[in-house]
Structure 1
């Protein structure tokens, strides 16, 4: 439920603000990237090494990076540049649905590793999903689709997150070692998302000190969360 809130907040912003500033979107993405990076480095990877060993962590961490890189390349090649907003929205939503599946896995294994880690991952993913909700909503608003339908479509794109969480719980509960592998896989996925999507997209939307500060604030807040929770 927490993770779904992010997508729906983003959809609501897209509906009511219609054209949120690039500075705001860039700051949200930068903040989410910094927060995510902090939890990966200080929480997820150490936990994966503890449960699965250094070598296995490196292997599954690499698999996580390569798998999400493959998906990213597949859907990047299918992006539309024409004025067909419905088509753009459909391709965007399809890409986000596949993107949200591994995010759910991250949350599922996070809760298995500890309730606090699961809550932290859910909150971070919720923040990260706000721009995604806007991304689905904007082209649909441009096509004059009814608001209730737009919210429904945004909700549907978030459903794979819950399916991924269920899969993560099932896979991670087999043994402590498997849980370590899942945490390493999740770390790789998240690391790619931070450096290939969130931070570059943040800088693309708005080049300035706002982005740098938002990343640093996210990183600092993540470090505090890891230390206190």
Structure 2
């Protein structure tokens, strides 16, 4: 129980820090340029791609066979694909209604992120810490995405921070669920890691990379994605 509590506290604090840093940046900038968001998105995409390819998938393969991991990796991609198809794409530079709709999307998004962290910590504290750091950095532009339209609509800064904080709450429940179910067996842990890998691959390839390219030029997007991949490799090596 003490380990479970540790996982929940650590996962939530680290993840929340990224979202709130993004909110503070959004409040400070008020209207961040698309070029800046392009860099954030490209860097985050590279980080996530690195952790999936060089850490999560190998960890899943340690306890299960290749085809089993492949099947659940594809399943993870399909799950988030169907979720994505049933949600609206929101532009971050619109009015207050957009901010709340964006927040709603992030609430649904942060729950599986919490599951990823919980599973990662159960696979090992190092993997969990890597996952938490990567997700925290990835959450920075999401915090910006909620905060900037609220500030643009003259919402109070204190309320803006509170609304952004609420979007991160589902992470706590996700961490609890992920860390609990991952203790059932090593095979089940591998299934969850494979599902998590599929989810993250879809988010990176179908959402983050295209969004980064749309916000800026391709060269800038790819450059910061490569920087993100390198940063991810450094984190994997150090942790």
Q: TM-score, normalised by structure 1?
A: 0.94
Pairs within 5 Å for 1:13-162: 13-76=25-88, 79=90, 85-162=95-172
2:174 aligned with 1:164:
yes
**Gapped runs of 5+ residues in structure 1?**
none
Which residue number corresponds to residue 23 of structure 2? Answer: 11
2:185 aligned with 1:186:
no
**Gapped runs of 5+ residues in structure 2?**
1-12
Which deviates more from structure 2 when the two are superposed, residues 128-137 or residues 54-63?
A: 54-63
How far 1:208 sits from its partner (Å)? 4.5
**Following the alignment from structure 2 to structure 1, what is the Cα–Cα distance between the partners of residues 19 and 237?**
27
Root-mean-square deviation over aligned CA pairs: 1.8
**Following the alignment from structure 2 to structure 1, what is the Cα–Cα distance between the partners of residues 65 and 166?**
37
Aligned residues: 227
1:202-229 CA-partner distances (Å, limit 9, x unpaired): 1111104332221111111212222332
Aligned partner of residue 75 in structure 1, secondary structure: coil
Which residue number corresponds to residue 215 of structure 1? Answer: 225
**Following the alignment from structure 2 to structure 1, what is the Cα–Cα distance between the partners of residues 120 and 213?**
29
Q: Is the 8 A contact 2:31 2:152 kept in 1?
A: no
1:161-207 CA-partner distances (Å, limit 9, x unpaired): 12111110011111111101010010001001111111111111110
**Following the alignment from structure 2 to structure 1, what is the Cα–Cα distance between the partners of residues 56 and 19?**
24
How far 1:80 sits from its partner (Å)? 8.2
Q: Is the 8 A contact 1:39 1:223 kept in 2?
A: yes
**Following the alignment from structure 2 to structure 1, what is the Cα–Cα distance between the partners of residues 58 and 82?**
26
Q: TM-score, normalised by structure 2?
A: 0.90
How far 1:139 sits from its partner (Å)? 1.8
2:203 aligned with 1:200:
no
How far 1:49 sits from its partner (Å)? 1.5
**Following the alignment from structure 1 to structure 2, what is the Cα–Cα distance between the partners of residues 76 and 57?**
30
Q: Is the 8 A contact 1:80 1:87 kept in 2?
A: no
Runs ≥4 residues deviating over 4 A? none
Q: Is the 8 A contact 2:56 2:197 kept in 1?
A: yes
